[in-house]
Amino acid sequence: MANIKSQKKRIRITKEENERNTARRTRCRNAQKKYEAAIAAGNVEEAKALLPVTVSIITKSGVYKDNTVSRKVARFSKMLYNLENAKA
């Protein structure tokens, strides 16, 4: 255990940040899984509704770097596009 006041604060802050980041990561992963499950089930309407929500969560979370977010959004959009065109 730390003896210095600033180090005690640093330990406390690190723990809080860790909990916050874990929650954000979990929220992102859950949104992605839900979207991918809708795609896998072939449910176009649900996937259309979930795409903006999923993109918003991933973009605003701060979990991923910008290029990773862009790549994921492109892949999700492509999944929906392919699903729509496979049905038509």
Under the banding of pLDDT at 50, 70 and 90, the label for residue 87 is low
pLDDT score of 13: 98
* CA dist., res. 88 & res. 81, Å (int): 11
Domain coordinates of the chain in residue numbers?
5-87
CATH of domain 5-87: 1.20.58.110
- The predicted-structure confidence for 29-75, as pLDDT tens digits, reads as follows 999 999 999 999 999 999 999 999 999 999 999 999 999 999 999 99
pLDDT score of 1: 82
pLDDT score of 88: 58
